[in-house]
Structure 1
Amino acid sequence: MSNAEFKIIDEKIGLFGGTLLLVGNVIAMTAFLLPAHLIADDGLGPEVAIAMMLVILPVTFSILSTLQIGGAMPAAGGSYVYGSRLISPFFGFLLPWIVIPSIWLGQLYLAFGFAEFMRFFPTFDWIPMWALMYAVMIPFIILNILGIRIVTQVQIVLVSIIIGGMLLFIVPGSLYIDTANYTGMFESGTGAFFLAIVSLSIAMHGFNLATDLGEELEDPVKNIPRVLGLSAVISIGLMVLLVVVAVGVVPLDFYIENRDAGVAYAAFEFLPTGGAYFVAFAAVVGAFTSLNTLYTAYSRQLMRAARDEAIPLFFAKLHPKYQTPHRAILLLAVPALLMVPPISSTTPVIMAAVLSITSMIGAIISAVALWNLPKRFERRYEYSIYKLPRPVLKVVAVSSALVSSIFLAGVSLELGWILAIIFGWIILAYPAYRYRVRSLQKKKDVDLVKRMKSLHDYEEQRAEEGSRASESEDEAETETPEAQSNTSSTTED
């Protein structure tokens, strides 16, 4: 247990607010932005629609894993906690090591999409991309510093607009699909197809928000599974339908000529002018909702890592008035702001691919954590409100790791140099971790490895409350020595 002093966030959001946060986080710009760019920039064909459907595989395994682990061990910054407690402290350290630069890129990807669709409107087509990117990033940095309740209130309005715009495109658009537009599949090669799958699977990033919110959800043990299930059905269903319709309503050459804001231009083919502009506006709002929650989710990972002092305790501090991890938010935000000018002239496909690659690596780590859950925290697994039977749990863990590994191998055919850079960065994490361990031991007499193997008291209490909700009152008051041993057991780093 960490002896570091920090305050626990005491603002809460309910099932409805949590679901809206996740839906907005998952849908993002991806379904609106990437299909046209994959076709125009990377030579993809109608297999883009197949790729979007295949994204359901890693997303399903990711959700099942998150449901099981999050239901057993609800904690703010959940991904960080699960890596450190269920595998080893190094893997907990590795997650913020990967997350920080990938989220810099994630903000730029979303801001790029926002700027591209804003320039679809004649009023804004003269404004430089970099200026529009700043115009969306800065307000949402401020919004997240002001607090989670404001974030949730804003999200209710924004998600309603997104869903309305997607349905306006999907429902009438499905009546104008020409099946001839789905011919000529897989002419661009295997590598390009895997690039499409990996790029579109950026949605995997969004579902981590449920466990990263942790302590800010009302009754997190019960609400994490509910939020994940509801948001998955809504967001993934809409994204798949939007891409399938977008590919079917116009020939592929259309997107080569209308790469920027391609889906909005396709809407002109079957919607009146006002309808097409509303679709574009929904895409713009998609950037709003994801930026809105990007800072929320990943600042909590950093906050939780800082509570252990895996990264400096400075980043665990909450704003005295707004009760938000403002320093962690600024760590994620400020470097990205500095990167806006050079990134504004690139392609969003590369940014999406890098984000998705890090998600795939995270999914493999989560799969190992899921496999270890029944052994490391047996009592919490047994009494988790959402419980996968052990054989099913093992199938999910192996399948998740296998699917992610296959997708990584496939995308290496097209973006091997990016994978090499990412794995090189991961290798550098180990000496940085060892330095952090030695430095804390020497300067503050803190055993970081021991600290990163145990839960904080409030997390222990929350897990126990979840257990008591699932067992009888008499059983809740006693715990066998074997179970107690399993609760605290860990392997050496």
Structure 2
Amino acid sequence: MGLRRTLGVGDAVVIGLGSMVGAGIFAALAPAARAAGSGLLYGLAVAAVVAYCNATSSARLAALYPASGGTYVYGRERLGAFWGYLAGWSFVVGKTASCAAMALTVGAYVRPGQTHAVAVAVVVTVTAVNYGGVRKSALLTRVIVAVVLAVLASVVVVCLGSGTADASRLAVGGASVTGVLQAAGLLFFAFAGYARIATLGEEVRDPARTIPRAIPLALGIALVVYVVVAVGVLSVLGAEGLGRAVAPLADAVRAAGVPGLAPVVRVGAAVAALGSLLALLLGVSRTTLAMARDRHLPSALAAVHPRFQVPHRAEMVVGTVVAALAATVDVRGAIGFSSFGVLAYYAIANASAWTLSPAPVSRVVPAVGLLGCGALAFALPGVSVSVGVVVLGVGVVAYHVRRWGAAR
């Protein structure tokens, strides 16, 4: 049984924004500033260029292969079964860790003393919403995006309108190439939400038209938001102050002389993390569905609910794993690994797009995207790279063991 096609361009854009304009904008700026210093805006520009290439490649592929699974499907169809599997493995493992991180972010902002308990409750609630159908998920995401954008707009107005704002703090100079690339890799983590649109390819109306329009539109809106917020916060805190900030947006409004807005920003951060979690769980469960259909994961996970027409078993299993992680593990350190996995996923997307046309002009964007993904992945902190290589290696071994068993 196929999934129900209920999403239009607006719904698809909102789901992408729910992932991109989420917790990342509240958390990623500080570590990026620590890595790049005054080169933060350069890092943002590099991340945007790589994201644009990835989005363009993904949109072209999604128009040809409008099925759930995203790059898992593209890699399989264009490069072979192994590369599709590796893309799916990178996405599912990396984004499962991201889901747990988002849930813990909600818990940390809502009730710091009971972070894990709140995180588990949030995962259970969001899984139940997704179980009821993707249309309901899209409607909830629309509300979340509206709230987050309102909070971010307030932060920008307060920062740029305050007497403490200083344009000289935006000056760029003295940043190392390594620092800029590392900052770009960290910021890319927040940009990567447009993948959720591609993984919902089987649930959008007229996917050949909807997906190529929705992905660049969602990315463009997110980029504008990120630039405006980064400029506003930098103008008040400067690169050094931003790098030291624990809650950068809340610190910025306090430094701008409006401490009363800080609690609102904290609520906005919690809502943003909730939106990211909602969209991430959607994407991971759909990729799980696609891999189960091809028996790379247990075939029972390919079941579609007869009434709600969602991959209910995949959603329940993913939700259970994320809840277990949120209850027992501090996954903040896994965000770097998640970035590594996402960049590996998009490297395969660009390699797949490279095969679509032999024309040199058509290959410029996927070539830049492929090289960019590799550069950003290996510019991440050493621990993240090491863990990422090991986990991807485990996936490779599992694939070949399964094939060996099937051959016997």
What TM-score comes out, normalization by structure 1 length? 0.76
1:152 aligns with 2:138: yes
**Alpha-carbon separation, structure 1, partners of 2:362 and 2:245:** 45
Residue 309 of structure 1 corresponds to 295
Amino acid at match of 1:291: L
Aligned ranges for residues 37-76 of structure 1 at < 5 Å? Answer: 37-39=31-33, 42=34, 45-76=37-68
Aligned ranges for residues 462-481 of structure 1 at < 5 Å? Answer: none
1:106–1:437 Cα change, 3 Å: same
Q: Deviations over 1:228-259 (max 9, x none)?
A: 12211211210122122212212456457651
- Give the deviation of 1:53 after TM superposition: 2.6
Q: Deviations over 1:15-42 (max 9, x none)?
A: 2111111111111211111223455xx5
Residue 236 of structure 2 corresponds to 249
Q: Secondary structure of 1:215's match? A: coil
Q: Deviations over 1:391-438 (max 9, x none)?
A: 332111211111122223333xxx223323322332333332233234
1:300–1:43 Cα change, 3 Å: closer
1:258–1:61 Cα change, 3 Å: closer
1:117 to 75, 100, 109: 109
- Give the deviation of 1:194 after TM superposition: 2.9
Q: Report the more deviating stretch, 293-302 or 165-174.
A: 165-174
**Alpha-carbon separation, structure 2, partners of 1:216 and 1:223:** 11
1:230 aligns with 2:213: no
**Alpha-carbon separation, structure 1, partners of 2:283 and 2:343:** 18
- Give the deviation of 1:354 after TM superposition: 1.6
1:202 to 185, 189, 197: 189
**Alpha-carbon separation, structure 2, partners of 1:169 and 1:438:** 56
1:422 aligns with 2:388: yes
1:291–1:254 Cα change, 3 Å: same
**Alpha-carbon separation, structure 2, partners of 1:352 and 1:240:** 22
Residue 22 of structure 1 corresponds to 16
Residue 280 of structure 2 corresponds to 294
1:367–1:353 Cα change, 3 Å: same
**Alpha-carbon separation, structure 1, partners of 2:189 and 2:309:** 29
1:276–1:204 Cα change, 3 Å: closer
CA contact (8 A) 2:155 2:253 kept: yes
1:372–1:48 Cα change, 3 Å: same
1:13 aligns with 2:7: yes
Residue 251 of structure 2 corresponds to 265
- Give the deviation of 1:213 after TM superposition: 0.4
**Alpha-carbon separation, structure 2, partners of 1:317 and 1:243:** 43
Amino acid at match of 1:431: V
Q: Deviations over 1:120-165 (max 9, x none)?
A: xxxx45x332233223222112111121011011112111111111
1:161 aligns with 2:133: no
Q: Deviations over 1:147-206 (max 9, x none)?
A: 10110111121111111111121234223431343458546x554443321111013431
Residue 339 of structure 2 corresponds to 356
Residue 435 of structure 1 corresponds to 401
Amino acid at match of 2:39: E
**Alpha-carbon separation, structure 1, partners of 2:157 and 2:121:** 32
Residue 410 of structure 1 corresponds to 379
Residue 279 of structure 1 corresponds to 265
- Give the deviation of 1:95 after TM superposition: 2.2
1:43–1:54 Cα change, 3 Å: closer
What is the aligned-residue identity percentage? 21
CA contact (8 A) 1:100 1:332 kept: no
1:358–1:169 Cα change, 3 Å: same
Amino acid at match of 2:49: L
Residue 470 of structure 1 corresponds to none
Residue 208 of structure 2 corresponds to 221
**Alpha-carbon separation, structure 2, partners of 1:37 and 1:416:** 15
**Alpha-carbon separation, structure 2, partners of 1:429 and 1:155:** 32
Amino acid at match of 1:432: A
What TM-score comes out, normalization by structure 2 length? 0.91
Residue 372 of structure 1 corresponds to 355
**Alpha-carbon separation, structure 2, partners of 1:341 and 1:228:** 33
- Give the deviation of 1:317 after TM superposition: 0.5
- Give the deviation of 1:291 after TM superposition: 0.8
Query: Pairwise CA RMSD of aligned residues?
Result: 2.4
CA contact (8 A) 2:32 2:184 kept: no
Question: How many equivalent pairs are there?
Answer: 406
Q: Deviations over 1:288-339 (max 9, x none)?
A: 1111111111211111121122222111012233221122123322223222
1:117–1:392 Cα change, 3 Å: farther
**Alpha-carbon separation, structure 2, partners of 1:24 and 1:50:** 24
**Alpha-carbon separation, structure 2, partners of 1:49 and 1:304:** 37
Residue 96 of structure 2 corresponds to 104
Amino acid at match of 1:219: D
CA contact (8 A) 1:28 1:110 kept: no
CA contact (8 A) 2:350 2:369 kept: yes
Residue 487 of structure 1 corresponds to none
Amino acid at match of 2:4: D
Q: Report the more deviating stretch, 295-304 or 96-105.
A: 96-105
CA contact (8 A) 1:49 1:247 kept: no
Larger C-alpha radius of gyration, 1 or 2?
1
**Alpha-carbon separation, structure 1, partners of 2:266 and 2:348:** 37
Residue 324 of structure 1 corresponds to 310
CA contact (8 A) 1:67 1:225 kept: yes
CA contact (8 A) 1:109 1:352 kept: yes
1:201–1:295 Cα change, 3 Å: same
